Amino acid sequence: MNFRTIAVVAGEHDEAASAAERLKDAYPTVPPEQADVIIALGGDGFMLETLHRYMSFGVPIFGMNRGSVGFLMNTFQENDLLERLRRAEAIALHPLRMTAEDIAGMQHEALAINEVSLLRQTRLAAKLKIEIDGIVRMNEMICDGILLATPAGSTAYNVSVNGPILPLNAHVLALTPISVFRPRHWRGAILPHDVTVTLHVLRPKTRPVSAVADYTEVRTVIKVVVREDRSATLKLLFDPEHDLEERIIKEQFLL
C-alpha cells in the first residue's frame, strides 16, 4: 500500500508521547483530517479510542505498541516506517450498534468495536430477558450482567468472563453471561453476525442496569437492542508477520 500523507497520534503516557515526537521529527506528517493513514502509538485501549475518534474519516490505522497488552498493535519500530506501511496488510472490522432505552423513555445510540455489555448498578443481581431476532430465548436470567462481543473484542472483557475467543473471519458474535446465578452453568451462545439481539431488563427500578458500548455508558436502561452495523467499516493495518489470526488462535492455548 502506498500512502502519501501520514498522521501520528499517541496516548497520554510519556513513552507514547515521546515516541510520537521522534516519529514527527523523522517523517513528514499532517493532521489526522488530512492523512491517508493514521499511526497510533499506545496500547489496545488507545487503539480503541483512536478507532472511535477517527471512524468517520475512513482512513486505515496502523498501531504500534507503546502500552501494556498491545494485542491489536504492531511492534514499535522507528526505522523503515514507510516501507512497513507499503507492505502492511489490511483487516476490515464492523462495529456493533447499540440502541438503549432508559427508564425515562429516552433513546441512546452508540457504536462498539469490542463489546456491548449490560452490568448491574447495585448490590442486587440483574434480571434479564434475552430475545434473538424477535424470538425469546431466555425468559429470565439472574446475573451480574451479559455482553455481546465482536471477534476483535472477544479477547478482551469477553475472555476474562470465560467467553469464547472468535476468529476474525468467523462471522459470529459471542453472547456471554457475567457471573450467572440462574440458569446454573449457562455459558452463553455463539450467534451469527447478522442477528439482532434484544436484552430486556426486568425490574429496572429495583434492580437497575447500565448498558456500555465500549466506553459509552447509559444508566438505568430498560431495553437494549444490538446489531452489527455493516455501514461502518474500520480498517486496521498489520505487518505481514504480525498475523492477527495466528495470535487469536495462539491465545486460545494460553494457560
Residue found by looking up cell 469477553 in the block: 158
Query: Which triple of cell numbers denotes residue 88?
Result: 502492511
For residues 107 and 163, membership in a common domain is answered with: yes
Q: Which pLDDT belongs to residue 11?
A: 87
For residues 193 and 79, membership in a common domain is answered with: no
**Please, what are the averages of pLDDT over each run of 10 residues along the chain (255 residues)?**
90 89 94 96 92 92 85 89 93 94 97 97 97 97 97 90 88 96 94 97 97 96 97 91 70 70
Domain extent at residue 175: 96-228
For residues 103 and 63, membership in a common domain is answered with: no
What CATH number should be reported for the domain holding residue 141?
2.60.200.30
For residues 162 and 244, membership in a common domain is answered with: no
Asked whether residue 57 is domain-assigned, the answer is yes
For residues 117 and 221, membership in a common domain is answered with: yes
For residues 22 and 134, membership in a common domain is answered with: no
Domain count for the chain = 2
Asked whether residue 137 is domain-assigned, the answer is yes
Asked whether residue 1 is domain-assigned, the answer is no
HSE of 81, CA atoms in CB hemisphere, 13 A:
27
Q: Which residues are bridge partners to 62 per DSSP?
A: 39, 237
Tell me how many degrees the CA angle 60-248-213 measures, rounded to the nearest 5.
Answer: 60
Asked whether residue 39 is domain-assigned, the answer is yes
Question: CB 192: neighbour CB atoms within 10 A?
Answer: 12
Q: Which pLDDT belongs to residue 227?
A: 98
Write out the catalytic residue numbers: 44
For residues 178 and 133, membership in a common domain is answered with: yes
- What pTM was computed for the model? 0.86
Asked whether residue 16 is domain-assigned, the answer is yes
For residues 141 and 192, membership in a common domain is answered with: yes
For residues 64 and 155, membership in a common domain is answered with: no
Asked whether residue 145 is domain-assigned, the answer is yes
What CATH number should be reported for the domain holding residue 39?
3.40.50.10330
Asked whether residue 26 is domain-assigned, the answer is yes
Q: How many angstroms separate the CA atoms of 228 and 233, rounded?
A: 11
For residues 171 and 186, membership in a common domain is answered with: yes
The residue among 185, 88, 200, 211 whose CA lies nearest residue 136 is 200
Q: Which pLDDT belongs to residue 243?
A: 64
Q: In the chain, what are the helix, strand and coil shares in percent, each to the nearest 5?
A: 20, 40, 40
Query: Which triple of cell numbers denotes residue 56?
Result: 468517520
- What is the bridge-based pairing of β-strands 216-218 and 234-238? unpaired
For residues 89 and 149, membership in a common domain is answered with: no
For residues 204 and 144, membership in a common domain is answered with: yes
Residue found by looking up cell 478482551 in the block: 156
